[in-house]
Amino acid sequence: MSGENPDVTRFGRIDDDGTVYVKTSAGERVIGSWQAGTPDEGLAHFARRYDDLVTEVDLVAARLNSDSADPTSTAAAIKKLRSGLDEAHAIGDLDALAARLDELATRVEAKVSEAREAKTAARAEAVARKEALAAEAEGLAENSTQWKAAGDRIKEISEEWKAIHGADRKHDQALWKRFATARDAFTRRRGAHFASLDSERKVIATRKEELIAEAEQLSGSTDWGATADQLKGLMREWKAAGRVAPDAEQKLWKRFRAAQDVFFSARSEAFSARDAELKDNLTAKRELLATAEAIDVDADPKAAQSKLREIQGQWDEIGRVPKESAGALQRRLRAMDGKVRAAMDIAWRRTPVSENPLLEQMREQVDKAERQLERAKNDGDAKRIKQAEEALANKRQFLNLAEKAQ
């Protein structure tokens, strides 16, 4: 129902003293007072409020139809909208809107149940996989005499374990304790075996070969922080392993050190390249910012808004800049954004009142999400970048839906 719909009187009225009533199946209800114009203008005003409610319901319905939306938060939004209808200060077919929300509530409850069942199934699968890994480790710890192969397998089990998520805390801790006990038991049994060998140096040489292999495996890694820590750990293990004969020790050390040098040299080159890239990005963003600040906002606010959005998209694509420059650049871009928004606000006040005020709030949410993504990129936090990109995509999707519905 639109604010200009002549059937608005089916759902509400304004009496002579300006009291506003909405009509529902439960009867009439006072929702406010209108003194600012004619009764027809008052009815149109409260009808537009109803249109706003319809837009909110359309958005939550779109969320429900989206596979990426969290059904629990969608259910909460539906519940909030439904509970607010009894006190809504709007004129329109509130009974129909309530029926629609009730239907959405039924659908979302089914999705919540599905998500809960999927989570339960995933938890059971995770527990079962870790149970199998713990049992395998216990078998190796008790029976295997293939020390290298068994040791490698236990390391593989440890890596596989880390990749399994979703087990409940109680089972996870109990199973990890079993695995850790088996791993420690295997290590002790292997140590006892090597201790029984005639030559302690053979044991040391074997361990150092393992450390070299691990270092060589890590030498090509580009996970700079984690790998550097691992290589430092390998260095501590190397020093703790003892020494073999001088000539053999020197040969082993050269191989071990060479593997480390490959990694640290590559890391140094990567950091230099990254610094150069950040500087190039800084130059590009400064040029882009100059373009943004040259926009004639007052001449055509809407065109200015469109151009600024295009620039903001290019801004995100450019990537990170040096941290010491990021804040100042972002403040200048936000200032330009604020200037455009202020001009749009003035323009909107001159447009028909049928414009949807909810859109401004949604645009602010998109702007906030864009700033959060920028900060995440500047911090180089991959996890936060992914979360911020997903949040921004969702907010932009909902804004597009709302703008199309307007």
**Over 50: is that where the pLDDT of 218 sits?**
yes
Instruction: Tell me the average pLDDT across 305-316.
Output: 84
Q: How confident is the model over 364-384, as pLDDT tens digits?
A: 888 888 888 888 888 888 888
What confidence category does residue 65 fall into, taking pLDDT thresholds of 50, 70 and 90? confident
Tell which residue, 35, 10, 34, 36, has the closest CA to residue 22.
10
Q: How confident is the model over 318-343, as pLDDT tens digits?
A: 888 888 888 888 888 888 888 888 88
Instruction: Tell me the average pLDDT across 141-157.
Output: 88
**Over 70: is that where the pLDDT of 351 sits?**
no
What confidence category does residue 353 fall into, taking pLDDT thresholds of 50, 70 and 90? very low
Provide the pLDDT for residue 2: 39
Instruction: Tell me the average pLDDT across 275-281.
Output: 82
Dihedral in degrees, nearest 10, Cα atoms 305, 307, 308, 311 = 160
**Over 70: is that where the pLDDT of 196 sits?**
no
Provide the pLDDT for residue 99: 93
* Cα dist from 109 to 63, 105, 112, 118, whole Å: 14, 6, 5, 14
Instruction: Tell me the average pLDDT across 183-188.
Output: 90
Instruction: Tell me the average pLDDT across 249-265.
Output: 89
Provide the pLDDT for residue 348: 62
The CB density around residue 376, as the number of other CB atoms within 10 Å, is 19
Instruction: Tell me the average pLDDT across 108-127.
Output: 82
Instruction: Tell me the average pLDDT across 20-40.
Output: 91
Highest mean pLDDT (candidates 15-24, 235-244, 262-271): 15-24
Share of the chain above pLDDT 90, in %: 23
Contacts 24+ apart (CB under 8 A), 123-128: 123/166, 123/167, 123/168, 125/166, 126/164, 126/165, 126/166, 126/167, 127/167, 127/168, 127/171, 127/172, 127/175
Q: State how far the Cα of 258 lies from the Cα of 243, in Å rounded to an integer.
A: 18
3-state secondary structure 141-206: HHHCCCHHHHHHHHHHHHHHHHHCCCCCHHHHHHHHHHHHHHHHHHHHHHHHHHHCCCCHHHHHHH
Under DSSP, the state recorded for 21 is E
Under DSSP, the state recorded for 242 is -
Tell me the pLDDT of the chain averaged across its residues. 85
Q: Please tell me whether residue 91 adopts helix, strand or coil conformation.
A: coil
Q: State how far the Cα of 135 lies from the Cα of 314, in Å rounded to an integer.
A: 53
29 phi and psi angles, rounded to 5 deg: -140, 135
**Pure H helices in 32-168:** 39-65, 71-84, 94-143, 147-163
299 phi and psi angles, rounded to 5 deg: -65, -45
Structure tokens at 85: 């209808």
Instruction: Tell me the average pLDDT across 96-101.
Output: 93
**Over 60: is that where the pLDDT of 277 sits?**
yes
Provide the pLDDT for residue 21: 94
Provide the pLDDT for residue 388: 87
Provide the pLDDT for residue 354: 43
What confidence category does residue 59 fall into, taking pLDDT thresholds of 50, 70 and 90? very high
323 phi and psi angles, rounded to 5 deg: -60, -35
Token pair 């100042």 is at which residue?
A: 328
**Over 70: is that where the pLDDT of 100 sits?**
yes
Provide the pLDDT for residue 18: 93
- Show Cβ contacts of residue 78 under 8 Å, excluding neighbours closer than 6 positions: 60, 64, 101, 104, 105, 108
Provide the pLDDT for residue 260: 86
Q: How confident is the model over 241-255, as pLDDT tens digits?
A: 888 778 888 998 999
**Over 50: is that where the pLDDT of 3 sits?**
no
| 321 within 8 A of 287, measured Cβ to Cβ | no
Q: State how far the Cα of 74 lies from the Cα of 63, in Å rounded to an integer.
A: 7
- Sign of the dihedral defined by the CA atoms of residues 168, 170, 172, 175, in that order: negative
